Amino acid sequence: MTSTPVQLTVRIDPHKCVGSTMCIQYAPGVFALNADRQSSVINAAGEPAERLRAAAEQCPMEAIVLEDANTGERIFP
């Protein structure tokens, strides 16, 4: 099976994020805490897609939403 890299869009659900910083540990090029001590996306292309996925999967609140940039299909959660 071949896998085609998927272009991901990423956003944070501010109603879920509790500022645990797990995502920043996994993908420091993408996420940073904002003035409200919640994660925000500083550069969606700042890490490879695998690290973005790992960050989303490790978020304890499932606050990181990943979608296929081409189709809009929800990838995670």
- For ligand SF4, the closer CB: 37 or 71: 37
Q: Strand, coil or helix: what is 33?
A: strand
CB of 56 to ligand SF4, least distance (A): 8
The two three-digit tokens of residue 53, written as one number:
């996925």
Binding residues among 7-66 for ligand SF4 as defined by CB under 6 A: 12, 17-23, 39, 59-61, 63-64
Which residues contact ligand SF4 (rule: CB under 6 A)?
A: 12, 17-23, 39, 59-61, 63-64
